[in-house]
Amino acid sequence: MPSFSSRVLALFLALELAAGAPPPTATVPAPPRDRRDIISSATSAAGSLTSEAGGALTSAFPSAVASVYSSLASSIPTEAAGGIIPGFDVPSVDDVKNEAGLSDDEIEQLPVRILNIPGFANLTDNGWSVLFHGQAYREPLENSSKLDTLTNVFLPEKDVDQLNETQQDQARNLTSAIYSLPVSDLSLTFTLYNATKDAQDSPILNLTFPLPTDSRGEFNQFVHMNDSIPTDLGERVHRVEVRTNAGDLGNSSAFLVPSQGITFLADIDDVLRVTRIYSPTSGLNNSFANPFTPWSTMPAVYTHWLESIPSAHFHYLTTTPEPATRMYESFIFGNYPLGSFDTRPYNFTTLDQTFRVRSVALRRALETFPQRRFVLIGDTSNADIMRDYPQLAKDYGNVQCILLRNTTATDSGDHFPYDTSGFEGLDNSTYFFFDVPEDLMGLDIENGECVNSSVPQNIEYGYQNLPWDPETDGAEGLKRSVTWRVVLVTGLLAVALAL
Ligand SMILES: *[C@@H]1O[C@H](CO)[C@@H](O)[C@H](O)[C@H]1NC(C)=O
Ligand SMILES: *[C@@H]1O[C@H](CO)[C@@H](O)[C@H](O)[C@H]1NC(C)=O
Ligand SMILES: *[C@@H]1O[C@H](CO)[C@@H](O)[C@H](O)[C@H]1NC(C)=O
Ligand SMILES: *[C@@H]1O[C@H](CO)[C@@H](O)[C@H](O)[C@H]1NC(C)=O
Ligand SMILES: *[C@@H]1O[C@H](CO)[C@@H](O)[C@H](O)[C@H]1NC(C)=O
Ligand SMILES: *[C@@H]1O[C@H](CO)[C@@H](O)[C@H](O)[C@H]1NC(C)=O
Ligand SMILES: *[C@@H]1O[C@H](CO)[C@@H](O)[C@H](O)[C@H]1NC(C)=O
Ligand SMILES: *[C@@H]1O[C@H](CO)[C@@H](O)[C@H](O)[C@H]1NC(C)=O
Ligand SMILES: *[C@@H]1O[C@H](CO)[C@@H](O)[C@H](O)[C@H]1NC(C)=O
Ligand SMILES: *[C@@H]1O[C@H](CO)[C@@H](O)[C@H](O)[C@H]1NC(C)=O
Ligand SMILES: *[C@@H]1O[C@H](CO)[C@@H](O)[C@H](O)[C@H]1NC(C)=O
Ligand SMILES: *[C@@H]1O[C@H](CO)[C@@H](O)[C@H](O)[C@H]1NC(C)=O
């Protein structure tokens, strides 16, 4: 029996939804139980797509492309094309309960945790409007003897007990978070504190969140602060501490972002940290076992921007699933400037939210700060970045620069084709493909400079890094005829998902 990728099943659900079927209650099915299944689901998803959903997808292609597509027998890391590590998805509530083997009453006794994702705030006629978003959950498998078995599924090579202690902690911590249960209908109260040492004990205000957590334990809404926080705070971004008394681990921050200035909005995987999503086993390894590591000297570039641009606001927007948020936050806050965050919520009720997570979150940021100038940062190996960044630059007037790491320039292991056609028609002084972080150092971002003319730009407005591209792969590519098909479909499917 072929192993189904959870993304493929999610796709089925999405197509059903698009066809008007009622929303499913369970969101995404559990990942396969066996490590080999994960790795193979990462490479056989296209094979599974020969059914109904595949038909719906291929009918959206021009017929020539569709015939290439349907003639392929196997195999692509669909999730990776969408910027998600294969197999790294969230199991259903029922599945988590089964694994935990606890009764509902026993689950009720477990501590409630609040993932309070750092939000941004804009200035309105009713004072600061602060975005609160996150999730209330329990981690029933945290201390369970079953945790190691579940953890092993995500580790490409070794079992968890063969790893060193720091690796074990990381792998178990992330797996336990993935196997969490939402806490719905919880009423939340937040207390905001001035983020200065001497103000620790003097809260600025208490507020009750207007809605209880939804069926997935999530909350996601702006709240007006009215006159409780001064509005005239100058050109700099101010941080306030946000704590909640409804659960544990809820300490967080909110960022008061003035109407004018520069916002650096970045993806994380493969531009701020080394992930290698395009190589599924490395991607798993670098997420579950290896300590998160900054990519090259990107932290120095960020420090430079922080120190030289007084109005700078940093926003981190990744489509990694919500349970990994704490791991990403602790990595970013240890290596890059503090800032607000978006990750991929569970709220899968519309086609848009499922397949356009990045553009939904990007639009919200761009619409919240219409007068700020945005610098969007990412890399060429994410199909959704290649699609959404240029599209939103065309749709909104406040995108100043798009800075993309050309991943293939420094990692010959990246065989993903990338599509630059979205950039056609955009002013070529607003986007820049860079090879190494130093290429960004000299840019005068404040005065609108986005391109370092010493780095050759080779934009073909179409698929690049194709396997027969003599520049990238040479004759060697042709020998890997199976691999190149794999790679081509990766790109095509990414397009399919975009439709
Ligand atoms: C796991 O153990 C830790 C430390 O004893 C405790 O704080 C935590 O609440 C436990 N978690 C669960 C789910 O039982
Ligand atoms: C907020 O609530 C705490 C108790 O939970 C209280 O000590 C504090 O005075 C309140 N602050 C404001 C500004 O209302
Ligand atoms: C989840 O999505 C539904 C439908 O779009 C929306 O009504 C609901 O408010 C969302 N929940 C959260 C927490 O955003
Ligand atoms: C600000 O005013 C609005 C409208 O009256 C109210 O809903 C909201 O709770 C107030 N915000 C705070 C922080 O009290
Ligand atoms: C925070 O504290 C600083 C000085 O400690 C003060 O100037 C500022 O007004 C306070 N901010 C708020 C929002 O209370
Ligand atoms: C969270 O805030 C509380 C005060 O509400 C503080 O006592 C605690 O040390 C903080 N926890 C962390 C992990 O910073
Ligand atoms: C996983 O990471 C370790 C370093 O911790 C490395 O030795 C190993 O080669 C990596 N394996 C893969 C498949 O990337
Ligand atoms: C564990 O292995 C990682 C490599 O994945 C290494 O960076 C770390 O220092 C090691 N930790 C210990 C305690 O040996
Ligand atoms: C898991 O790791 C994250 C980030 O490193 C940390 O914030 C969190 O407290 C850890 N969770 C537990 C239950 O230890
Ligand atoms: C503040 O952000 C909200 C939410 O995105 C948006 O609707 C509103 O227009 C923004 N206000 C201003 C003054 O830009
Ligand atoms: C940008 O486009 C102009 C022509 O419109 C061309 O002369 C110039 O070389 C292009 N710049 C880059 C960096 O490709
Ligand atoms: C990215 O780098 C590769 C390898 O150096 C090069 O062949 C390709 O043209 C570059 N892409 C762009 C868009 O400049």
326 lines ligand 6 (CB under 6 A): no
Distance (Å, rounded) from C-alpha 440 to C-alpha 421? 23
| pLDDT above 80 for 490 | no
The domain locations on the chain are 4-76+473-498
**What is the pTM assigned to this prediction?**
0.85
Q: How distant, in Å, are the alpha carbons of 89, 320, 324, 331, 341 from that of 345?
A: 11, 9, 11, 19, 12
* Amino acid at position 357, single letter: V
226 lines ligand 4 (CB under 6 A): yes
Distance (Å, rounded) from C-alpha 499 to C-alpha 384? 11
Q: CB neighbours (10 Å) of residue 274?
A: 16
Residue 11 CA to ligand 8 centre (angstroms): 38
| pLDDT above 50 for 68 | no
Helix (H, G, I), strand (E, B) or coil at 20: coil
**257-288 confidence digits (pLDDT tens):** 999 999 999 999 999 999 998 887 899 999 99
Residue 225 CA to ligand 9 centre (angstroms): 30
Distance (Å, rounded) from C-alpha 258 to C-alpha 238? 9
Ligand with an atom nearest the CA of residue 158? 7
Which stretch of 73-87, 202-216, 317-331 has the lowest confidence by average pLDDT? Answer: 73-87
Angle formed by the axes of helices 35-48 and 6-18, to 10°? 40
Return the ligand 10 atom nearest residue 123 CA.
Answer: 13
Nearest CA residue ID for atom 2, ligand 2: 206
Distance (Å, rounded) from C-alpha 137 to C-alpha 167? 24
| pLDDT above 50 for 52 | no
pLDDT class for 347, splitting at 50, 70, 90?
A: confident
| pLDDT above 90 for 334 | yes
pLDDT class for 248, splitting at 50, 70, 90?
A: confident
Return the ligand 8 atom nearest residue 289 CA.
Answer: 5
| Sign (positive or negative) of CA dihedral 267, 273, 278, 281 | negative
Q: Give the model's pLDDT for residue 25.
A: 28
| Sign (positive or negative) of CA dihedral 283, 289, 290, 292 | positive
Q: Give the model's pLDDT for residue 401.
A: 98
Q: Which residue intervals of 336-435 are DSSP H helices?
A: 351-355, 357-368, 383-395, 407-410
Cβ(121)–Cβ(254) under 8 Å? Answer: yes
205 lines ligand 5 (CB under 6 A): no
| pLDDT above 80 for 205 | yes
The percent of residues in the chain predicted with pLDDT above 70, rounded, is 73
Nearest CA residue ID for atom 8, ligand 6: 251
Q: How distant, in Å, are the alpha carbons of 142, 241, 286, 288, 300 from that of 31?
A: 18, 36, 19, 15, 38
Residue 283 CA to ligand 8 centre (angstroms): 17
pLDDT class for 321, splitting at 50, 70, 90?
A: confident
| pLDDT above 50 for 323 | yes
Cβ(435)–Cβ(398) under 8 Å? Answer: no
Torsion angle of C-alpha atoms 205, 208, 209, 211, degrees rounded to 10: -170
Q: Give the model's pLDDT for residue 414.
A: 86
Q: Give the model's pLDDT for residue 452.
A: 98
Residue whose CB lies within 8 A of the most ligand 4 atoms, among 189, 191, 192, 223, for a mutation test: 223
Torsion angle of C-alpha atoms 263, 460, 72, 354, degrees rounded to 10: 20
| pLDDT above 50 for 210 | yes
* Of residues 198 and 304, more confidently modeled: 304
Residue 137, phi then psi, degrees to nearest 5: -155, 170
142 lines ligand 1 (CB under 6 A): yes
Q: Which of 355, 291, 313, 353 is nearest to 494 (CA)?
A: 355
**146-156 confidence digits (pLDDT tens):** 999 999 999 98
Q: For 427, which DSSP code?
A: -
208 lines ligand 4 (CB under 6 A): no
Distance (Å, rounded) from C-alpha 172 to C-alpha 148? 7
* Of residues 25 and 317, more confidently modeled: 317
Q: What is the rounded average pLDDT for all residues in the chain?
A: 80
184 lines ligand 3 (CB under 6 A): no
| pLDDT above 50 for 42 | no
> What is the CA angle 268-273-275, rounded to 5?
95
The percent of residues in the chain predicted with pLDDT above 90, rounded, is 63
Task: Tell me which H or E stretch contains 420.
Answer: none
Instruction: Give me the mean pLDDT over the 413-423 stretch.
Output: 89
* Of residues 177 and 52, more confidently modeled: 177
Nearest CA residue ID for atom 14, ligand 12: 458
pLDDT class for 326, splitting at 50, 70, 90?
A: very high
Residue 270 CA to ligand 9 centre (angstroms): 22
Return the ligand 6 atom nearest residue 245 CA.
Answer: 5
Residue whose CB lies within 8 A of the most ligand 6 atoms, among 115, 191, 202, 251, for a mutation test: 251
Ligand with an atom nearest the CA of residue 260? 10
Residue whose CB lies within 8 A of the most ligand 3 atoms, among 115, 349, 354, for a mutation test: 349
Which stretch of 42-46, 136-140, 170-174 has the lowest confidence by average pLDDT? Answer: 42-46
293 lines ligand 11 (CB under 6 A): no
Q: Give the model's pLDDT for residue 79.
A: 55
Residue 284 CA to ligand 7 centre (angstroms): 10
Return the ligand 2 atom nearest residue 191 CA.
Answer: 1
Return the ligand 5 atom nearest residue 195 CA.
Answer: 1
Residue 206 CA to ligand 2 centre (angstroms): 6
Ligand with an atom nearest the CA of residue 126? 4
